[in-house]
Structure 1
Amino acid sequence: MMRLEDLQLFVQAADAGNFSRVARQLNITPAFVSGAILRLEKSLGVRLFIRNTRNQRLSDEGARYLPHARLMITAMQQGEQSLRAAESSLRGTLRLSAPSDFGRNLLLPWLDEFLAQHPQLTVQLRISDRSVDLVSEPLDVAIRYGQLSDSSLVAWALAPEIRRTLCAAPDWLLRHTPPRNPEDLMEHNCLGYVWREQAYQRWRFLLPDGEKVVSVRGDRFSDDADVVRRWALSGQGLVYKSRLDLLPDIMAGRLVELFPPEWGEPAPLQLVAAHRAQLTPAVQQLKNWLQQQCAQLLHSENQGMD
């Protein structure tokens, strides 16, 4: 197996033109240098130097190999520096905000794995469906659903193709006739979500013949999206929210989708920051990790359908 140390000694010997000179520069013996060159020659199957009793010079093969050896040493050094930089950067505290349902039920186990990979990193997690002010509050990044309303923020897509989906529990379906179109929702108990002190009761759908918005009614409202999902699981009514949040329940049969997924309103999941400078190595690694976990979750659904 080729050693980096042997490769480095070969380049240094080629530059110096003499094994003894390299040995003096590095405070090692000429025999050590010679042994390194012999190992490299054996590994490559060629002679790199023409030797005699007075000096050594590069062979034709050695001269051809020298620029490649320099590139390999540079690449190895850059790779080591990159690993050390990434390791050293994933220290300190990463302050993160996430929506309630996604944060509790998907993000928490994903963060456990992420922190196990980066034990020098500390995460401060805020679970809230409130739209936090990333400029004034002590947060590095936030995970959000939907399109940005503030154009001054920057966002990186985590799951860009996600939509909302309409679901109900099997128990609810035993007691009610499922809706066939958005207009039917006005006759059903729709579980409401409160955001910025306003109940989200206008549900938007994208049908093949165009957009449809219906005003729904229900007997339960919460500003915590996880609570709304739990109500749906217990058979209290219909829920309309991010399909990513509901996917584990759909796959397990705890919830049933009532409309085609493509009818749902787009609700992309994004990692948001106040400015691009906040894409630190730790945030970059977290972004990559979350993109990977979202993709694996969606892929697991596709595998289950095969």
Structure 2
Amino acid sequence: MLRLDDLQVFVRTAEVGSLSAAARLLDISPAVASAGLKRLEQQLQARLFARSTRSLRLTAEGEAFLVHARQALQSLEAGRQQLAGSKSTISGPLQLSVPSDFGRNTLLPWLDTFMHNHPQVQLRLLLGDRVTDLFREPVDIALRYGEPEDSSLVALPVAAGNRRVLCAAPAYLQAHGEPRQISELREHNCLIYMLGGRAYERWRFHTADGEHSLQVAGDRLSDDADVVRRWALAGAGVVYKSWLDVAGDVQAGRLKILLPHVLGEPTPLNLICAHREQLSKPVHLLREFVQARCTELLAQAPWGR
């Protein structure tokens, strides 16, 4: 494998006609430059320069190889500039994984606006509630509730103040009544979804008396949070969901907040990626864009009134 620094020594020496001058330009010692040139000739099994005590000139083989060496260095520089440019311009592919409910019912129209403002971005959107393997799957960033279990991942806050809320459809409440305290949830059909591969059936709340935990039960469970939301809209039971997921339904009257005096469990929304190098300008702009709209929804949350 040819070394990049050896190619640079060769090209600079050919351009200035002096190995010592090339070494000064590359900020290395003449001995290092000489070793690099010798190593390159050995790998190519060709003599690139004809040397004398007073001159250094390219051989025929050296002149032929110089064309390819320059092209290789130019191609690498073009690639570097393209990567640098992708971090400063708003263009190129943006691969994003988001939770199913938040993605379909809250984020999707926001993304339409973002794409309209930045038409050179190509969005690739993956919807799902399972934890995405950011090191293996074709995803640049993910929006996820809660802190990542893998401490090596980079997590930036998008909606740190988000919480879960209890709610149900008016039709369900008309048929089954409205709970007046946390313990009465045992008498209601609670809609369960999977969280981290397990059924999220122990609901936690905060009141003036401290933290409360309740084991709930119901006749429906799904690994897709959007399905659980749709069951709630259909009047099938009580749901305990992120405010960001159901804010639109509450504002439209399709769902009603229950026990508004009770503070739901914190559910921060974070932008997650495998490496900080993935935090390009489009990613930062998307985060700021989503963060601003989440802030607007959080200002209307029941615990902030």
- TM-score above 0.5, yes or no: yes
**In structure 1, C-alpha distance between the alignment counterparts of 2:183 and 2:270, rounded to whole Å:** 31
Which runs of no fewer than 5 residues in structure 2 stay unpaired? 1-84
Q: Deviations over 1:141-162 (max 9, x none)?
A: 0001122222211111111101
Q: Deviations over 1:148-202 (max 9, x none)?
A: 2222111111111010000011111111222222221111100010235421111
Deviation of the 1:253 alpha carbon:
1.1
Residues 165 and 261 (structure 1), Cα distance of their counterparts in 2 relative to 1, 3 Å cut:
farther
Contact 2:162 2:298 in 1 (8 A): no
Number of the residue aligned with 1:265: 265
Q: State the one-letter code of the partner of 1:256.
A: K
Deviation of the 1:275 alpha carbon:
2.0
Deviation of the 1:99 alpha carbon:
0.2
Number of the residue aligned with 2:151: 151
Number of the residue aligned with 2:241: 241
SS in 1 for 2:177: coil
**In structure 2, C-alpha distance between the alignment counterparts of 1:191 and 1:253, rounded to whole Å:** 19
SS in 2 for 1:288: helix
Number of the residue aligned with 1:210: 210
Q: Deviations over 1:212-260 (max 9, x none)?
A: 1111110111111111011111110000010111111111111111122
Taking the TM superposition and a 5 Å limit, the aligned residue runs for 1:1-306 are 89-260=89-260, 263-299=263-299, 301=300
With 239-248 and 148-157 compared, the bigger mean Cα shift is at: 148-157
Contact 1:163 1:262 in 2 (8 A): no
Which runs of no fewer than 5 residues in structure 1 stay unpaired? 1-84
Deviation of the 1:88 alpha carbon:
6.2
**In structure 1, C-alpha distance between the alignment counterparts of 2:152 and 2:129, rounded to whole Å:** 20
SS in 2 for 1:119: coil
Residues 216 and 87 (structure 1), Cα distance of their counterparts in 2 relative to 1, 3 Å cut:
closer
Number of the residue aligned with 1:29: none
Deviation of the 1:297 alpha carbon:
3.0
Q: Percent identity?
A: 53
**In structure 2, C-alpha distance between the alignment counterparts of 1:87 and 1:206, rounded to whole Å:** 42
**In structure 2, C-alpha distance between the alignment counterparts of 1:180 and 1:123, rounded to whole Å:** 45
SS in 1 for 2:134: coil
Contact 1:163 1:261 in 2 (8 A): no
**In structure 2, C-alpha distance between the alignment counterparts of 1:249 and 1:99, rounded to whole Å:** 17
Residues 112 and 97 (structure 1), Cα distance of their counterparts in 2 relative to 1, 3 Å cut:
same
Q: State the one-letter code of the partner of 2:260.
A: P
**In structure 2, C-alpha distance between the alignment counterparts of 1:261 and 1:165, rounded to whole Å:** 11
- Give the TM-score taking structure 2 as reference length: 0.68
SS in 2 for 1:291: helix
**In structure 2, C-alpha distance between the alignment counterparts of 1:167 and 1:93, rounded to whole Å:** 38
**In structure 1, C-alpha distance between the alignment counterparts of 2:86 and 2:196, rounded to whole Å:** 39
Q: State the one-letter code of the partner of 1:222.
A: S
Deviation of the 1:204 alpha carbon:
1.0
SS in 1 for 2:162: coil
Deviation of the 1:203 alpha carbon:
0.8
SS in 1 for 2:218: coil
**In structure 2, C-alpha distance between the alignment counterparts of 1:150 and 1:163, rounded to whole Å:** 22
**In structure 2, C-alpha distance between the alignment counterparts of 1:217 and 1:87, rounded to whole Å:** 48
Residues 111 and 177 (structure 1), Cα distance of their counterparts in 2 relative to 1, 3 Å cut:
same
